[in-house]
Structure formats: structure tokens, C-alpha cells
Structure 1
Amino acid sequence: MIERIYGVADTTFSRVNMGEIAIKVIRKEDPDSQISRYTVPGIKDLPVAAKKLIDSGCNGVITLGWVGKTQLDKYSYLAASIGLIFVQISTSRHVIDVTVHEDEAEDEETLREIAIDRAKKHSVNLVKLIKDGGNALTEMAGKGLRQGYSNAGSID
């Protein structure tokens, strides 16, 4: 049997424990796998966490971050996103960037629901990509699927 190791990188700045949610979903979707977790302070630390997880043998990583409302927070996210893209390109491994932005909702309960939904759905996506291969999501292409919100639906 091929051993699959998933990396889960999360932050202490997040207001929902999305790392715990991701781990539960991955364990359910791929019970024979291993999971390695790496928690960092904030989103700008996620690229190195993802790289370290991959370097330690993870087949793919899900990063779970939280972005504040200010313009500076948005710039920090942009920098982190570019870093995560670089990690993907330099390692040829999937790094699924799951980020919740404080300004996505006015109330905390809605933010919580967005975080949980996004973490769950992207954890399933990571398992499909790692366990089932690069074409595992092809049947869902063009369906308007969303993470954190209701699906938009296809316009075909």
C-alpha cells in the first residue's frame, strides 16, 4: 500500500480551529493515511510551514489562514498567497490555500460557518487530489462549486 501523508498548516491568528476540522475530515476521507500538523502565528508564516511539511514527506498540504479587515492585512495575504504559489511550483505538490477574510461577513456566526464549510470542502478536495490523482476533480469541473458559500451552479 502506498503511504499518503497530508500536511495541515494553520495559524494562531485564525478565530476558528480550522486545522482540527481539516484533520477530522481527512481522517474520515482517508483513514489509512497519516497527518502532520504545523501551526504558525499568521498567514505570512504559512508558506514556510507548507514547505517544511512537504520536505518532511507530505504528499500535499492544506493551509488554513485568517485575514483581518485592513488594507495591510490584504497585502499580507497577497504576500502569503504568492509564497504558497511558489511552494507549489518549486515542490510540484498541491498546497490548498484556505483563507477566511474578516470582511466576508458582518457577524461572527456567519464567519464561523464560512470557515467550517471552506475547511471541510477543501480538505475533501486535497484528499481527492492526493488519494485519487490529478483527474479526481475533473467530473466536478464547470459546476460552479464554492467553498464557504452555497454553490453558484453551472451556466452550461
Structure 2
Amino acid sequence: MRKYGVADTTFSRVDMGSVAINTIKKEDPEAEIARYTVPGIKDLPVAAKRLIEEGCDGVITLGWVGKTMLDKYSYLATSIGLITVQILTSKHVIDVTVHEDESEDLEKLKEIAIDRATKHARNLVKLVRDGKNSLTPLAGKGLRQGYKDAGPID
């Protein structure tokens, strides 16, 4: 049986963890899902690693980054940590992050968060359930998460 990990934070302003879980359940109803909620983004690498150690075949991490430069540095450290987890475990860790300075409009930020969490949860299911070439037909299509697709350059 496939097992997915969902790691999210209490700092996020949208419950992206629930969005990801609902999407995974819809896309792969037979799968098991483990959720691990931590305070902030810098805690996501260890959450992802622990979920993988507990048998998850892949993990989606869902974080929210504030507007300050310190927040951006924290995200950089988190990103490096998540990449390291992937290298150490040979498992996909899909990093889904909303940056608070993407929009001043809170409703738009919510839309970005939901869209990004949904699309990346689908990506994780494809990679875990369908294998390494499952996204190949979509290569070069200019697909985006959180915004309208950019489209390919023909």
C-alpha cells in the first residue's frame, strides 16, 4: 500500500494540509496518509524526514513565508534542508510554499495556497503511484501552481 506524508505548519494562514490530504484521498483512495504539523517552515525538513522514516513513499510540505528578509532567509534554509532530505532518502519531498508578499489581497493569497497545495498534491500522487516518468507528458507545458499556467513557447 502506498503511504503519503503531509507536513504543514501552524504559521500558515490557510490549512493547506487539509487541502493536500483531500486531494490525495481523491486521487489515490486506497492510500494511507500521515500528517505531521510543526510550528514553522524551519521545522519542515525534520518532519519530512520522520514521515519518510515512518514509511511514507513521498512527502508534501506546506509552508508559509512572511514578508521580511529574515523570513526569506529562513525559507532558503528550509529549502536546502528539504533538498537534503530528498538526497538522503531518495524520496520525493514536494515543497509547497506561499510567500506572503505574493499578494496584498488576503483572498488572493488563499486562492494561491489552495491551488498550489492541490496541484502539488496531484504531482506527488503521480510520482509515487505512477512512477518516475508520470510527469514526462507534461514537460515543457509551462504549468504553474498557484497561478494560471504560463503555457509552452512553440
Short-chain TM bin: over 0.9
In the other structure, the counterpart of 1:70 is 68
Aligned equivalents of 1:74 and 1:26: distance in 2?
A: 29
In the other structure, the counterpart of 2:119 is 121
Aligned equivalents of 2:111 and 2:31: distance in 1?
A: 27
1:100 Cα deviation from its structure 2 partner: 0.1
In the other structure, the counterpart of 1:149 is 147
1:106 Cα deviation from its structure 2 partner: 1.2
Aligned equivalents of 1:65 and 1:136: distance in 2?
A: 25
Aligned equivalents of 2:140 and 2:68: distance in 1?
A: 33
Unpaired runs of 5+ residues, structure 1, are none
Counterpart residue type for residue 30 of structure 2: D
Unpaired runs of 5+ residues, structure 2, are none
In the other structure, the counterpart of 1:107 is 105
Counterpart residue type for residue 17 of structure 1: D
In the other structure, the counterpart of 1:137 is 135
**Residues 22-42 of structure 1: per-residue CA shift (max 9 Å, x gap):** 000000000000000000000
Identity, % of aligned positions: 76
Q: Post-superposition, which runs of at least 4 consecutive aligned residues in structure 1 deviate over 4 A?
A: none
Aligned equivalents of 1:141 and 1:37: distance in 2?
A: 30
1:12 Cα deviation from its structure 2 partner: 0.1
1:61 corresponds to 2:59: yes
**Residues 42-62 of structure 1: per-residue CA shift (max 9 Å, x gap):** 000000000000000000000
**Residues 76-97 of structure 1: per-residue CA shift (max 9 Å, x gap):** 0000000000000000000000
Aligned equivalents of 2:67 and 2:110: distance in 1?
A: 16
Aligned equivalents of 1:7 and 1:17: distance in 2?
A: 15
Aligned equivalents of 1:15 and 1:109: distance in 2?
A: 11
**Which one of 49, 52, 55 corresponds to residue 51 of structure 1?**
49
TM-score, reference length from structure 1: 0.98
TM-score, reference length from structure 2: 1.00
